[in-house]
Every structure is written in C-alpha cells, then in structure tokens.
C-alpha cells in the first residue's frame, strides 16, 4: 500500500481502520468538552507567555484553522517545536526535492522560527508554507483539513493529538508518526491510568521508529506489526548549521580555556548543576562553563542563581552580536546561551557536552547533535529517553553516563587533564555519527511511497 500519492496525481488510499472502542470515543468527547470549557484559560496563558515571546500571539487565526486554501493536495507535517522541526527537516527536504508541496506546522514560536530559517527559498517560492497548527478542537481541525486537503499527515516523534487523529480519519487523511519515540516507561504509565494514548496509536496508518526496543513498545501498545517500520533515527540526517562553526572556533581560540557545555538542562536538576559548577570552579583548570537551559523561560533564572552564588556570568545576547562578533569577558565563569537556534555554535565552542534532563528521572535530551560535531557526551544516570543511540555511543567510546553531578565534574576534569583521552573520545564521537548518517530519511521515504 502506498501512502504518498504521485506528485502529479495525488490520490492516496484512505487510512486503515481506526479501532475506536467506546472508552476511546467517550474519552475523546470528554476531552473536547473540557478543552472548550478551558479555552479562555488556554488563550489567556498564550497571551501571558507572549509578553516574553511575542510570536505566541502572532497569526492567531491559524490556531483556529483559518489557513489559505491549497491548490493541490500537500503533505502536512506537524513538528511541534525546535527539536522536532530539526529532526524532520531531512524528510521535508526529500519531499521538496521530489516536487511535493509541504505545509509545515508547529505549536511553538521556536518551531515556527526554525522552519522559516531552514527553508527560506522554498517558502519564497510557495512550495512550502509554515504556520501554527490549529488547536486540537474538532471544528478547528475540520476547518484546517477542509482548507488544506492534505494527502497525508506526518506527526513527528511523540505528538499524538486526539483532535488531529479523529479529524484526519473523518476526512480520509492517512496519518503517519515518524521517528516514533514511545518508550516502555510511558506505556506502563499510560496503562496504569486510563490507557487512552495506546488506543490513539491505532489512528496511525504507519509508525516509523528508531530501534527494536521502540518497536516492541508500540507492539505492546496494541499497534499491528504491519503498521510499524524500523527505519532508524532521523536526527542523524539533520544538517549542522555550518555557518555557526567558524565564529565558534575563532571565539574558542580567544578564550583558550577548557570548556564544558551544559546543554538542554531542566529546572528540576538546576540545583544539582550548581553543584557541578562549584566542583569545576574549585579546580585549578578554571574551565569556562557554557550553560544553555532547555527553556527560554529559565535563561534569566539560571543567570540570577549563578550571580547570587558569586559567579561571574556573561550572556550571549549581551557580549556577542547576531554575527557572533564580540568577546566573552576573561573573568567569566559561566556563559549563558540565551538564544534559540544556535546550538551548533555552543557545541562547537565546547570540549565536552553534558546533556540535561538526566540528573533527574526524565530520560535525557538529544545527544545526536553534539556527537555529530565530534563532542564527547556525558549525562547523568537517567537516559532512558535516548537509550538508542546512547548505549551504542557508549560502546563506541563517545558517551558516558555518570551517577551524580560530582561524578560528571570529576570525569570532565579528568578529560581536561588528559589531552589524548579527550581527543580519542572526540574522534570516537565523530566516527560514531558517520556510521549512522544519511540512511534513515531515505528509508522512510521509500516506506511511505510503497
């Protein structure tokens, strides 16, 4: 069965059967009722967040399904935020290469901005449109799908929304989840509750995922085996922002200090990370720490906590301009990466990368991007969310998981003090990435076209 229609004759088959037991249908309408009741609260929260990020209140009509009508059936891609947008970008490029019209939707300004930066020429030509995904209400989704008439919907990673799946099924739009990242821990949690999300996976005509472990989780959720395809990790195929590398190298030469990056940290582990900073700064090596919190809302809070603890803090937005020109003051203890879409710059600036959401039981964040730039990766004990490729990277000598923040500091200082060990781990990271790059997106495209 093929899902994507021929470019000149878009006529995909209708979606496969979507089992909708009474429990799922009842939960869906309860969800819809509650969403409508709480809609003023949601919109108020959106406007509140827009005080700091004005893009949240931009293009509000799109959130209500009001999109320009499509002249031909596009491929609809839903990539919620920055990480999902970058992850699916290789697939979007292949779709554009093959002549498809693409509508790329997001739920956050970070995702919207990333899409606009990644595909400026295609947006200018009209082959790709970006915007906000509609609210997950039955009527907003119906209006959106009626105006776009997509031949297929592609949801990235764990974005599974009832309104999207029910609405797409009613309009015979097959839905595919790509780079599926449903983990066993989430499945067991869902089953202990009402067990609704596992039922929703039945709304996907296809699910592509990255490892046998993930495939087994989807099977445990009740997804038929013929709807699941192992294609690999799409993030290995995403492009590095090469324009950010030369200024990072130049700044790194001027800093001339060992540098550790704290990447994608979350609030729950910040207290432990302060211990990490303290342990590193007590060393005679005096490394520079580049700290990039996961959420923009934590930029100021982390900077304030560090200053209160007596550290010298510099903000990327204050000491470097948009072209990364400027200087980090020599007495800086911690450089706060208070910007979006510049992770390649921060990775390149660093000798070692610690990836967050791992000192607390959150499963860890993306390790592929720093590995792709040849950076050794350290994490705390919790990395179940990135078990693939973390276990394989550990076997290759490019990744280590450590029990505590103090252990991370100790291991970092060991590597800083042993240039040959640090160089070997960096080489291992680059070689590991090279063995995985370039295949997942092509396999996914072949699968969708079958």
| Residue positions annotated with a catalytic role | 84
From 342, 355, 372, 351, select the one nearest 434 (Cα to Cα).
372
How far CA 411 is from CA of 8, 18, 279, 378, 421, in Å, comes to: 57, 50, 11, 9, 11
For 282, other C-beta atoms within 10 Å of its C-beta total 11
C-alpha 366/C-alpha 83 separation (Å) is 8
For residue 229, the SS3 value is strand
Q: Give yes or no for a contact between 427 and 374, defined as CB atoms under 8 angstroms apart.
A: yes
Tokens of 299: 């930029």
Q: What angle do helix axes 138-148 and 162-170 make, rounded to 10 degrees?
A: 50
Longest dimension (CA), the chain: 67
Q: Name the strand (E) or helix (H) holding 290.
A: strand 288-293
For 61, other C-beta atoms within 10 Å of its C-beta total 11
Torsion of Cα atoms, 134 then 135 then 136 then 141, to 10°: -40
């Amino acid at each position: 069965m093929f899902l994507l229609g021929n470019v000149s004759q878009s006529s995909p088959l209708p979606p496969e059967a979507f089992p909708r037991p009474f429990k799922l249908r009842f939960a869906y309408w309860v969800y819809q009722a509650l969403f409508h009741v709480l809609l003023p609260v949601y919109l108020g929260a959106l406007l509140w967040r827009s005080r700091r990020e004005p893009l949240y209140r931009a293009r509000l009509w799109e959130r209500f399904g009001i999109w320009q009508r499509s002249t031909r059936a596009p491929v609809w891609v839903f990539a919620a935020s920055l990480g999902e947008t970058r992850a699916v970008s290789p697939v979007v490029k292949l779709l554009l290469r093959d002549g498809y019209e693409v509508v790329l939707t997001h739920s956050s300004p970070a995702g919207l901005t990333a899409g606009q930066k990644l595909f400026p020429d295609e947006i200018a030509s009209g082959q790709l449109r970006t915007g906000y995904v509609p609210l997950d209400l039955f009527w907003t989704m119906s209006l959106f799908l009626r105006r776009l008439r997509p031949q297929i919907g592609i949801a990235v990673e764990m974005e599974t929304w009832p309104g999207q799946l029910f609405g797409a099924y009613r309009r015979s739009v097959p839905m595919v989840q790509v780079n599926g990242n449903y983990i066993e821990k989430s499945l067991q949690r869902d089953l202990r509750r009402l067990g609704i999300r596992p039922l929703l996976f039945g709304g996907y005509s296809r699910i592509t995922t990255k490892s046998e472990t993930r495939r087994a989780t989807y099977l445990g959720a009740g997804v038929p085996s013929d709807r699941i395809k192992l294609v690999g990790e799409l993030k290995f195929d995403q492009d590095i922002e090469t324009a950010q590398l030369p200024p990072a190298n130049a700044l790194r030469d001027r800093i001339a200090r060992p540098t550790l990056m704290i990447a994608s940290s979350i609030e729950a582990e910040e207290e432990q990370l302060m211990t990490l900073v303290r342990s590193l700064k007590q060393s005679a090596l005096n490394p520079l720490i580049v700290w990039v919190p996961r959420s923009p809302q934590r930029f100021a809070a982390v900077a304030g906590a560090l200053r209160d603890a007596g550290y010298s803090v510099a903000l990327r937005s204050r000491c470097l301009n948009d072209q990364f020109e400027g200087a980090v003051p020599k007495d800086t203890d911690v450089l706060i990466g208070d910007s979006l879409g510049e992770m390649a710059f921060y990775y390149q600036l660093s000798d070692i990368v610690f990836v967050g959401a791992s000192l607390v039981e959150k499963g860890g964040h993306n390790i592929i991007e720093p590995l792709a730039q040849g950076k050794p990766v350290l994490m705390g004990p919790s990395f179940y969310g990135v078990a693939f490729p973390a276990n394989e990277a550990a076997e290759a000598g490019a990744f280590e998981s450590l029990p505590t923040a103090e252990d991370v500091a100790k291991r970092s200082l060991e590597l800083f003090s042993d240039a040959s060990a640090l160089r070997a781990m960096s080489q291992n990271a680059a070689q590991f990435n090279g063995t995985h790059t370039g295949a997942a997106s092509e396999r996914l495209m072949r699968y969708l076209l079958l």
